[in-house]
């Protein structure tokens, strides 16, 4: 662990402790004092537990989308806090397979994007919700012909509750602007709607559990063109094994459950921030996207 050489030992120890926390993925302060959310959940009276929860539910987060504060209300109805689900979405989960199966059942039951957001907000089958501050469901215009799907939210997205609002989101906005689009003309979501701690890659189990929800979100948004941002999104949604440098710029058929649409894979903006020279490939992809939106390919 790196210590600062020119400061008093107690201060150095504190800085070392901070560095340890950051390295462990604890990189933002949510409260003035530590708060044991697991203890909160254990103390919740049985009467509060929803019908159907046959074992102790996984702890939820009071700040997650769906809990109803005006402070986070957005202008578009879909960006407002999710309404209560029609049926309780808590599930007694013993294994990732059971969680994925519960996710499939829950996702299948959603009749609108609002219902899907509400179901996700109360779905307790994915452990990521415990460490995430907010559910990151979507941003943009759900009526858009173009839907973009990334991998998972980062720290800025987790704090704000919207996808692609950090540095890679700002680059994405510039790329969209280059072909005449903005957040009023695209709809944006992620494969995994909760931030993995420390921005780690979501595990295959977490992806498998969240996949039915993003697939249903695509079906309900019903875009004409689906854009997978980065390899993990393309591999999950298009069931391909090849890396993104092989698949980018290519069109794939995608079955939404209602109809077949066109799907396109391109480089993730976070990758472009690390490899700026590759922006020339992304520019090629975005021009192809523009041609497709204009019906020229």
192 is an interface residue for ligand URA by CB under 6 A: no
Per-residue x/- track, 18-37, ligand URA (CB under 6 A): --------------------
Q: Which of these ranges, 35-43, 102-110, 156-164, 273-281, lies near ligand URA under the rule CB under 6 A?
A: 156-164
The answer to whether 155 touches 166, Cβ cutoff 8 Å, is yes
Instruction: Give 64's contacts (C-beta < 8 A, 6+ positions apart).
Output: 121, 129, 132, 133, 134, 135
Applying the rule CB under 6 A, the residues between 214 and 273 that interact with ligand URA are 270
Count of positions on this chain that bind ligand URA (CB under 6 A): 13
User: Among 60, 140, 150, 202, which residue sits at the site for ligand URA (rule: CB under 6 A)?
Assistant: 150
CA distance 118 to 136: 12
CA distance 214 to 115: 13
CA distance 53 to 262: 40
Q: Which of these ranges, 49-57, 74-82, 160-168, 276-284, lies near ligand URA under the rule CB under 6 A?
A: 160-168
Chain position whose Cβ is nearest to ligand URA: 150
140 vs 169 by CB, closer to ligand URA: 169
| Smallest separation, CB 268 to ligand URA (Å) | 6
Give the H or E element holding residue 281.
Answer: helix 279-293
140 is an interface residue for ligand URA by CB under 6 A: no
User: Among 114, 115, 157, 206, which residue sits at the site for ligand URA (rule: CB under 6 A)?
Assistant: 157
Instruction: Give 283's contacts (C-beta < 8 A, 6+ positions apart).
Output: 175, 178
187 is an interface residue for ligand URA by CB under 6 A: no
The answer to whether 226 touches 149, Cβ cutoff 8 Å, is yes
User: Among 114, 115, 124, 151, which residue sits at the site for ligand URA (rule: CB under 6 A)?
Assistant: 151
Cα–Cα–Cα angle for 67, 68, 70, rounded to 5 degrees: 140
Residues contributing to the site for ligand URA (CB under 6 A): 150-154, 157, 163-164, 166, 168-169, 190, 270
């Amino acid at each position: 662990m790196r210590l600062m050489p020119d400061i008093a030992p107690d201060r150095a120890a504190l800085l070392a402790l901070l560095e340890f926390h950051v390295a462990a993925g604890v990189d933002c302060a949510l409260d003035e004092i530590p708060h044991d959310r697991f203890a909160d959940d254990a103390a919740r009276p049985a009467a509060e537990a929803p019908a159907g929860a046959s074992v102790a539910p996984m702890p939820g987060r009071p700040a997650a989308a769906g809990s109803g504060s005006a402070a986070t209300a957005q202008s578009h109805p879909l960006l407002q806090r999710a309404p209560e689900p029609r049926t309780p979405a808590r599930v007694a989960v013993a294994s990732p397979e059971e969680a994925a199966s519960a996710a499939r059942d829950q996702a299948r039951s959603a009749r609108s994007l609002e219902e899907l957001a509400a179901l996700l907000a109360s779905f307790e089958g994915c452990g990521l919700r415990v460490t995430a501050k907010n559910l990151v469901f979507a941003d943009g215009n759900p009526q858009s012909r173009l839907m973009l799907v990334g991998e998972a939210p980062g720290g800025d997205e987790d704090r704000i509750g919207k996808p692609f609002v950090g540095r890679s989101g700002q680059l994405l906005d510039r790329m969209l602007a280059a072909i005449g689009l903005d957040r009023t003309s695209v709809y944006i979501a992620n494969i995994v709607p909760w931030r993995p701690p420390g921005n780690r890659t979501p595990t295959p189990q977490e992806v498998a559990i969240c996949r039915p929800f993003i697939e249903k979100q695509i079906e309900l948004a019903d875009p004409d063109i689906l854009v997978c941002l980065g390899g993990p999104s393309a591999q999950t949604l298009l069931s391909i094994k090849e890396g993104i440098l092989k698949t980018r710029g290519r069109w794939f058929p995608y079955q939404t459950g209602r109809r077949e649409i066109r799907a396109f894979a391109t480089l993730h903006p976070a990758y472009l921030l690390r490899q700026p020279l590759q922006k020339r490939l992304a520019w090629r992809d975005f021009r192809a996207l523009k041609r497709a939106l204009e019906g020229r390919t």
